[in-house]
Structure 1
């Protein structure tokens, strides 16, 4: 049996340029409005037998706002950014430009003292590979955009540098189908059609 895992990007908690590493802020007003607007298209995903979310307040609130009642998964947490936690990329660059350059260039580097990009991708991929097929074949997971980017790099067996070329917008969805070690990217119609398939 193949699994179908649909990732839903959490609604925003700040303007894009103010995004912070390991952002623990709750949804802002614009984020709640986005959830309400997207609900018609995304609520049908709640038919999934397994519903998960990353532990951030905005992922949990997005999942709850869409009626998923998701189970928090620590493996879907954002990349551990060490001493850069809470900073924007611009702030980290202003403080440690050489370290940020090294981090962007080498997926094994950890100049911030946290988790490497390669380890982050592997952690999220391991979560994907260990989903229990016997509990149902449809899964929905609300997660931070960074987590979804890591999952896609893993699923496609793409080079880690591909991570920087994937743009995940708030409340966008992407589906991967398959099983441990063999995943395919799947483009589908609106979620309202998915509940009938």
Structure 2
């Protein structure tokens, strides 16, 4: 059985430096412009057998804007950041520097009162492992970059610290192929786009 899951990173709603934990803001005009610019390149993914998205507003809007009509999957939600929800990393660091340091160095820690990195990776990986494994089934999932990083760490059975070394750009795609417990990384093309600060 060969299953292929292609992840599409949601369009950005801000610059990288102003991204917020569990960002619930809708796509801004720049995000919509990104979707329109690459829609022709990503439209073929609409032919996937199954189309999903995370419940985040920008993931849902990206999926709809690309013509996927995706089904929302709660397991693809961003990491539960507890009391840091809505803050930028800089804001959390200014308020609780020791707690942020603990969170960045210990994947089992939950200083924010939410979900640990280990639990987040396990939740996303559990979703991946429960996809229908029919012959040559193609799945597309639009999600936040953090969710895609978690899926890649899980699929590659990489150490949790690897999560911090994966850079996922908005509207980039990457696929994993295989079956539950045995995934391989498949690098796809990334649409040309200007760099955002």
> TM-score band (shorter)?
over 0.9
How far apart in 2 are the matches of 1:106 and 1:116? Answer: 9
Structure 1 gaps of 5+ residues are: 192-197
Q: What per-residue deviation string (whole Å, max 9, x for no partner) do you get for residues 116-136 of structure 1?
A: 000000000000000012496
Contact 2:172–2:190 (Cα < 8 Å) also in 1: no
RMSD of aligned alpha carbons: 1.3
Does residue 101 (structure 1) correspond to residue 101 (structure 2)? The answer is yes
Deviation at residue 188 of structure 1 after TM alignment: 3.8
Q: What per-residue deviation string (whole Å, max 9, x for no partner) do you get for residues 124-172 of structure 1?
A: 0000000012496100000000000000000000000000000000000
How many residues matched?
Answer: 191
Alignment of 1:125-136 (within 5 A): 125-134=125-134
Partner of 2:124: 124
Deviation at residue 187 of structure 1 after TM alignment: 2.1
Contact 1:50–1:135 (Cα < 8 Å) also in 2: no
Contact 1:63–1:70 (Cα < 8 Å) also in 2: yes
How far apart in 1 are the matches of 2:6 and 2:171? Answer: 12
Partner of 1:49: 49
How far apart in 1 are the matches of 2:149 and 2:31? Answer: 20
How far apart in 2 are the matches of 1:15 and 1:24? Answer: 15
Q: What per-residue deviation string (whole Å, max 9, x for no partner) do you get for residues 169-194 of structure 1?
A: 00000000000000000124589xxx
User: TM-score, structure 1 length as denominator?
Assistant: 0.94
Partner of 2:27: 27
User: TM-score, structure 2 length as denominator?
Assistant: 0.94
Q: Indicate the SS of the match to 1:178.
A: strand
